[in-house]
Amino acid sequence: MLVSLSMDFLLYNCHICQGKKVENHTSINSLGQISNTQYDISALDSKISNIEMKLAAAKAEQRSLLSGDTASGNSKRKYFMVIGINTAFSSRKRRDSVRTTWMPQGEARKKLEKEKGIVIRFVIGHSSTAGGILDKAIEAEEMVHGDFLRLEHVEGYLELSAKTKTYFSTAVGLWDADFYIKVDDDVHVNLATLGTILAGHRKKHRVYVGCMKSGPVLSKRGVKYYEPEYWKFGEAGNKYFRHATGQLYAISKDLATYISENQHILHKYVNEDVSLGSWFIGLDVEHVDDKRICCGTPPDCEWKAQLGSVCAASFDWKCSGICRSVERMVEVHRTCGEDVNALEHASF
């Protein structure tokens, strides 16, 4: 009797064990399936991101061809530099002030592309309401001037880092250039001087040119340039790594290509100039600190010119651009601008 009870007890426990094994095996299989699903989703996200960028580049190239920017069969000619002027829907007056000062218009702009290999476009994405009044206003402006590069990007102040990635990725897909430049629409640029500076770095494969800085990481919520991920940079009071000021900087083709190919895994900080600098940390990149790219407005540019140091770009540090740029751009152009024949005589 005792033997029979013991056998029954063992058989009962055995069934329980088998049940647990089946349960554990099912759990392991479920975890494996979840892991595989997550991997598949990640791989799919990567593929979608790549397809989206190729689509954006293809659409931009189509617009460029339709507007007559590139000759048939010559869409991949070699250019010297592509200048993307970062702009917003609300900045029409700024764009007009740029057009009337340092950005050539119409046939002069096409001649600049053909003879000097310098491409200049206002860079803007789309509104959150696709096809809305803001987008239609840009489309109407484009019909008149033909000087926009439209991105597959939804505009927003907190999306500037994403816009920068999309700009470089789109530009490098459209134009085969030595340098790709980002400049704000409230900065005055001397094209011949900028070209001369960059020509000196033309043989370098991975070069990052601008006014380098390393400002404090601001951890107080609500202040301008607040960094939500301040904790990543160490203890309170630490500074950012070296990076170029956001008003104007240039990167070589290899770096623009690197951004394009890796954009889906490049981290975005809230400040886009910090984001760009972070993407090059750990890479073999030459940082060129050239103060001619961040001259002040009058009278700073005047005394520098007297010393023979012509400014490539002028802006006011106190307002991260030209203060009241719509009203003052003409004055800055007159005072800080290079000789009217400088670009024509420049040899890059």
User: What whole-number distance in Å separates Cα of residue 287 and Cα of residue 12?
Assistant: 73
The percent of residues in the chain predicted with pLDDT above 90, rounded, is 61
* Distance from C-alpha of 136 to C-alpha of 127, rounded to nearest angstrom: 10
Q: What confidence tier does 239 reach under pLDDT thresholds 50, 70, 90?
A: confident
pLDDT of residue 72: 38
Evaluate if residue 229 carries a pLDDT over 60: yes
* pLDDT tier, 249 (very low <50, low <70, confident <90, very high otherwise): very high
What whole-number distance in Å separates Cα of residue 236 and Cα of residue 128? 36
Spell out the long-range contacts of 141-147 with Cβ–Cβ below 8 A and sequence spacing 24 or more: 141/92, 141/95, 145/99, 145/105, 146/67, 146/68, 146/69, 147/99, 147/103, 147/105, 147/109, 147/120, 147/121, 147/122
Check residue 36 and give its pLDDT.
61
Q: What is the mean pLDDT of the chain?
A: 84
pTM of the predicted model as reported, rounded to 2 decimal places:
0.78
Residue 220: what pLDDT? 84
pLDDT per residue as tens digits for the range 270-281: 899 999 999 999
pLDDT at site 302: 87
How many CB atoms lie under 10 A from the CB of residue 268?
20
Q: What percent of the chain is modeled with pLDDT above 70? A: 78
Q: Read off the pLDDT band of 303 (50, 70, 90).
A: confident
Supply the pLDDT for residue 333: 96
Predicted local confidence at residue 75, as pLDDT: 52
pLDDT above 60 (res 100): yes
Is the CATH code 1.10.10 the one for domain 67-345?
no
Token pair of 274 as six digits: 């910090």
pLDDT of 12-57, one tens digit each?
454 444 554 445 554 445 555 555 665 566 556 555 545 554 554 5
**Does the pLDDT at position 73 exceed 80?**
no
Rounded to whole angstroms, the Cα distance separating 91 from 229 reads 30
